[in-house]
Chain A
Amino acid sequence: MLETNQNGDGNLAWQALLYASGELDEERAVAFEDRLGHDQAAREALSLAAQLAVVPGVTPALRPNPDYRDMVRLRLKQGESGWGRLLGRRIYRGHPLVWGLAGAAAAVLIVVGLGQCGVVLPFGPAPTTIVVQAPGSQVEEDAEAMVPSLEAANVWAEISQSDHLLKAHGDELRRKTRSEEWHRLVDPDARRTRVQPKPCYEEMR
């Protein structure tokens, strides 16, 4: 029908040229695509139209990157195995499988993350039981924690019972006693007069 189009767009080559350059309206573009589905002549015309649109030396030649050949070989060797096909082909971002895998991965991450935070989930492994102690026993534990260590007590006892401290204490008592006796001898009213006691070294002279 396209060849007899009254608007003069019917010729296959021109149709292909217009289609390749995106200048066919929606209806005619769909009709041409339908024709491409079964008409080898239309396919060849489109191929030629795309080739003609390339101006040598100005626009690049219509050649694919030769790397695709290696990918085809690899995929053919991997055959029909599911993993081989999955790994070998380029996956479109909009493919439902991509979104499904991404969603599953996100769900796993969320579950693991919540599990790490101690959140009890309505599924999965049984949660760890947390036992809360009564206040009394808690106080006893705190008191025990506040008791000084045995090592510190021993050090304190050693300091307190050392001989030089006992000797100093006895010396001080004797000095006070002698000083009071001397004041009583010098001044009988010493009880009423406050006399500055002499230093011990003077008394010893």
Chain B
Amino acid sequence: MGAVGQSDAELLQSFHSGEDGALDVLFDRYEAPLFQFLVGMLRDYHQAEDVLQETFVRALQRLAGVDPGHLRGWLFTVAYHQAMLAKRRQKRPTREVNRHEQFDPSPDPGAQAEHRENARRVRRFIDQLPPQQREVIHQRMYEGKRFREIAADLNCPLNTALARMHAGLKRLRVLWEQDHA
């Protein structure tokens, strides 16, 4: 059985016995949900990367007394405390992540063309969504409105607007993955 199929307890045992590959499997398994959680808390990609590093180091250094079967919960607990520390250190107010600025604005014509093509495909997928979901996603993504503003604009409860957004994004992701498959 490869390391990928091993349980957390087995991976931790391998890690303690000096198997470097075990650590990679743990990274693959937990870095995405932890990083998403940290971006959600900190709204800053670079800070989230710093805290992610700190989380893995501290969590793996203090495994004594931790039930290996609850490694996921332990990692999230450490991530939470590190994120709160980072937020306290951060004197300036958190800014909302502008994910569009994360794209490399390089003048590489190939990359720009690919980005334009992706944007076109996403618009095509959005057009396939139910009208109510489409409207919420459009107002949020292309007009940059806050959820409360969207709800007010569509004359619906906030929860309804959030539910439409949630469902619409999930559907969008499925369409994207089907297209790429």
Q: Which residues of A contact B (CB under 8 A)?
A: 7-9, 11, 13-14, 16-23, 33, 36-37, 40, 43-44, 46-60, 62-65, 68-69, 71-73, 75-76, 79-80, 89-90, 92, 94-95
Contacts and interface: CB of A to CB of B under 8 A. Distances in A.
Contacts of A40: 72-73, 76
A46 B42 CA distance: 11
A124 B173 CA distance: 70
A37 B146 CA distance: 26
Interface residues of B, number: 60
Interface of B: 20, 23-24, 27, 31-37, 39-41, 43, 48-50, 52-54, 56-57, 60-61, 72-73, 76, 80-81, 84, 89, 91, 94, 96, 99-100, 102-103, 118-119, 121-122, 141, 146-148, 157-159, 162-163, 165-166, 169-170, 172-173, 176-177
Given A14-B163, A21-B146, A58-B141, 9 more contacts: A23-B147, A50-B36, A52-B173, A55-B122, A58-B118, A75-B57, A79-B61, A89-B53, A95-B89
B122 A60 contact: no
Contacts of B48: 64
Contact of A22 (B24, B80, B96, B170): B96
A69 B24 contact: yes
Contacts, number: 144
Contacts of A58: 100, 118-119, 122, 141
Contact of A51 (B36, B119, B165): B36
